[in-house]
Amino acid sequence: MCGIVGYVGSARSTEVLLGGLRRLEYRGYDSAGIAVIDADGALSSAKKAGKLQVLADELAEHPIADGPTGIGHTRWATHGGPTDGNAHPHLADGGRLALIHNGIIENFAPLKAELLAEGVEFTSETDSEVAAHLVAREFRQTHDLTEAMRRTVALLEGAFTLLAVHADQPGVVVGARRNSPLVVGLGDGENFLGSDVAAFVSYTQRALAIGQDQIVTIRPDSVSVIDFDGNPADASEFEVNWDASAAEKGGWSSFMAKEISEEPEAVQKTLLGRVHDGAITLHDLEPIADRLQQVDRVIVIACGTAAYAGLLGKYAIEQWARVPVEVELAHEFRYRDPVLDGRTLVVSISQSGETMDTLMAVKYAREHGAQVLSICNTQGATIPRESDAVIYTHAGPEVAVASTKAFLAQGVALYLLGLHLATLRGTLSSEEIAAQVAELEALPPKLQQTIDDAADVTTLARWMADTRSVLFLGRHVGYPIALEGALKLKELAYIHAEGFAAGELKHGPIALIEPGQIVFVIVPSPRDPRSLHPKVVSNIQEIRARGARVIAIAEEGDAAVLPFADEVLRIPLASPLIEPLLAVAPLHMFAMELATAKGLDVDQPRNLAKSVTVE
């Protein structure tokens, strides 16, 4: 939430800042602003409510002086509405200092009262402006922006990434972070700061991950890092493994359309190097290899779509490795006093690796003796650095706010974990493992086939553009898929949508069915050994009898659903645990197409931000 970019180098800050903000806009799009210090040491700023383009238009009409030092911000509003005045940067010291903030300063009220008593005048309703005036106050004492920042963070409670510039110290940007992301881009005669590497990847792929409670000072030729006590600190350098083109639309109508099209590739890349000759090799787990042998319980913690991926993993891990798996929303987990010990493996799942609820749950789990394995899609992110081990999904950058390709990559990573645990625990034979590996390897072309064959989804979505409510039913692995289908429709098309376990229907939700109610049903394979297929076909008949319009997603050749469904979308055959994953792309496409038919922005849905870095 909130995108942050900082730059020192040549005289083209405005271009770098706007480019960085364009790539970070998925983090928030309520307002945007920049501040630049020119070659003469004068600070100018501009900020506007609305999407980044509003600021870009404003700057085109009324340019500010460009210069070698600057900071930029794109906001997801927390304290104070999305207005020009509440947009960042916030100015202090008579307009000589500018500051931007991502996070929430929980003790802003007493600090503001203290500053007001000192005669400081506030111009916004934000918590962030407090930090600007505090850094200004400390700068007046120290004449050193790094030290002023250090003294300021000692006063703050909550989560923050702060960047500040001061006209009296041109050529310097100072950043600080606690529980909010910040990475450095290492250039040649220029350096960058960003909420994530997307901010600067078109200039450099060399990056430094700034650790928790650290302060970084960038100049054109140097980067120095200290901790909040002022001691020199290490920051780990890494190479960004994707280039700027991966985060471009590349001819697609939206990032969402592009990212759905990349679902097969996301799965393939997540499997790459981890499956060989019918076996699993997860070098990622080496840091916890010893303790993994002892695991007697798995708890998956995640939020939103990532939590639904966790549910997929529950079915696979329990069936294959015979170890109990609980799946819990990260924000509920740490407040219920969970029972944890050294034999508990906590698996956190996060595309961004920055979700505050998940990060806090990870810290809690480790503090209480559990080992934490993270499944993450973002290099240099906080959650993997706070974990004992990490399996990176290689879905590539996900720019659209709603998660799509990462969901499948997360599911596949959990399936790999399940097979790895089954190997360790001897719960599957090598032939059984090889059979599942073959199924996973066959998934990308089948996903591609599903996407290629999904023209009917577009027609259906256009036909349903006025629909007010859609229900999604699934059983077993189809249940988390139903939840994901419903979430995607809510967030993209702003339509009431609910996902249910099909067996739960008769326990209450069937009361929602009235003539014309649209219901998607993910139909289990007729080959499923649990005989769920006839039960779900019965569920379809029950809702049809009450007037529902049923869209079944069923495997090729399943004729039993035909008499009872209004539409049937076909998916290729796969094993019962894996086949429901093939229903994901049609549901993602349906939500996207329906939102498009309603004229909505599928990449930046209202009220949302991709990376939720506040609790």
User: Cβ closer to ligand M6R: 68 or 304?
Assistant: 304
The answer to whether the beta carbons of residues 470 and 495 sit under 8 Å apart is yes
Q: Which of 195, 214, 355, 525 binds ligand M6R (CB under 6 A)?
A: 355
- How far does Cα 592 stand from its chain's mean position? 18
User: Cβ closer to ligand M6R: 225 or 312?
Assistant: 312
User: Cβ closer to ligand M6R: 71 or 360?
Assistant: 360
Least distance to ligand M6R, CB of residue 60, Å: 32
Q: Strand 31-37 vs strand 191-194: parallel, antiparallel, or unpaired?
A: unpaired
- In 352-486, the DSSP E strands lie at 371-376, 389-392, 469-474
Least distance to ligand M6R, CB of residue 252, Å: 18
Residue 358 lies near ligand M6R (rule: CB under 6 A): yes
Q: Comparing C-alpha atoms, which of 302, 301, 293, 283 is closest to residue 343?
A: 293
Strand partners, 501: 474
Residue 371 lies near ligand M6R (rule: CB under 6 A): no
Least distance to ligand M6R, CB of residue 369, Å: 24
Query: What phi and psi values does residue 395 have, to the nearest 5 degrees?
Result: -80, -10
DSSP string covering 488-557: HHHHHH--EEEEEEGGGGGGTGGGG--TT-EEEEEPPPTT-TT-HHHHHHHHHHHHHTTT-EEEEEEETT
Q: Which of 30, 127, 263, 491 binds ligand M6R (CB under 6 A)?
A: 491
What x-and-dash track marks residues 402-421 binding ligand M6R by CB under 6 A?
xx------------------
User: Cβ closer to ligand M6R: 27 or 533?
Assistant: 27
Could you say which residues in the range 210-249 bind ligand M6R, by CB under 6 A? none
User: What does the chain come to in residues?
Assistant: 615
User: Cβ closer to ligand M6R: 434 or 608?
Assistant: 608
| Dihedral (CA of 281, 284, 287, 291) sign | negative
Residue number, nearest CB to ligand M6R: 304
Span interacting with ligand M6R, options 33-41, 227-235, 498-506, 606-614, rule CB under 6 A: 606-614
Span interacting with ligand M6R, options 51-59, 264-272, 573-581, 605-613, rule CB under 6 A: 605-613
Q: Which of 91, 198, 271, 303 binds ligand M6R (CB under 6 A)?
A: 303
Rounded to a whole number of angstroms, the CA Rg of the chain reads 25
Span interacting with ligand M6R, options 60-68, 209-217, 274-282, 299-307, rule CB under 6 A: 299-307
How many angstroms separate the CA atoms of 213 and 384, rounded?
Answer: 16
Structure tokens at 382: 């906080």
> Tell me, what amino acid is at 611?
S
Residue 195 lies near ligand M6R (rule: CB under 6 A): no
Q: Strand 90-92 vs strand 97-105: parallel, antiparallel, or unpaired?
A: antiparallel
Least distance to ligand M6R, CB of residue 352, Å: 3
Least distance to ligand M6R, CB of residue 185, Å: 21
Q: Strand 325-329 vs strand 297-302: parallel, antiparallel, or unpaired?
A: parallel
Q: Which of 256, 306, 311, 416 binds ligand M6R (CB under 6 A)?
A: 306
The answer to whether the beta carbons of residues 449 and 442 sit under 8 Å apart is no
User: Cβ closer to ligand M6R: 13 or 355?
Assistant: 355
Least distance to ligand M6R, CB of residue 351, Å: 3
Residue 144 lies near ligand M6R (rule: CB under 6 A): no
Q: Cβ contacts of residue 288 below 8 Å, gap of 6+? A: 345, 371, 373, 388, 389
The answer to whether the beta carbons of residues 570 and 559 sit under 8 Å apart is no
How many angstroms separate the CA atoms of 409 and 575, rounded?
Answer: 18
Least distance to ligand M6R, CB of residue 9, Å: 30
Least distance to ligand M6R, CB of residue 495, Å: 15
User: Cβ closer to ligand M6R: 305 or 436?
Assistant: 305
Structure tokens at 348: 């956190």
- In 369-526, the DSSP E strands lie at 371-376, 389-392, 469-474, 496-501, 518-522
- How far does Cα 413 stand from its chain's mean position? 16
Q: Which of 179, 204, 352, 382 binds ligand M6R (CB under 6 A)?
A: 352
Least distance to ligand M6R, CB of residue 436, Å: 25
User: Cβ closer to ligand M6R: 99 or 306?
Assistant: 306
The answer to whether the beta carbons of residues 58 and 44 sit under 8 Å apart is no
User: Cβ closer to ligand M6R: 274 or 588?
Assistant: 588
Q: Any catalytic annotation for residue 610? A: yes
Peptide bond into 89 cis (omega under 30): yes
Q: Any catalytic annotation for residue 2? A: yes
Kindly name the residue from 2, 47, 112, 258 that is annotated as catalytic.
Answer: 2
How many residues touch ligand M6R (CB under 6 A)? 15
Residue 304 lies near ligand M6R (rule: CB under 6 A): yes
User: Which residue intervals of 72-127 are DSSP H helices?
Assistant: 108-117
How many angstroms separate the CA atoms of 341 and 385, rounded?
Answer: 21
Kindly name the residue from 47, 48, 446, 610 that is annotated as catalytic.
Answer: 610
Q: Which of 86, 102, 214, 350 binds ligand M6R (CB under 6 A)?
A: 350
Q: Which of 128, 191, 305, 596 binds ligand M6R (CB under 6 A)?
A: 305
Span interacting with ligand M6R, options 182-190, 226-234, 300-308, 535-543, rule CB under 6 A: 300-308
First to last CA, the chain: 11
- Active-site positions read 2, 610
Which residues in this chain contact ligand M6R in the complex, by CB under 6 A?
Answer: 303-306, 350-352, 355, 358, 402-403, 491, 608, 611-612
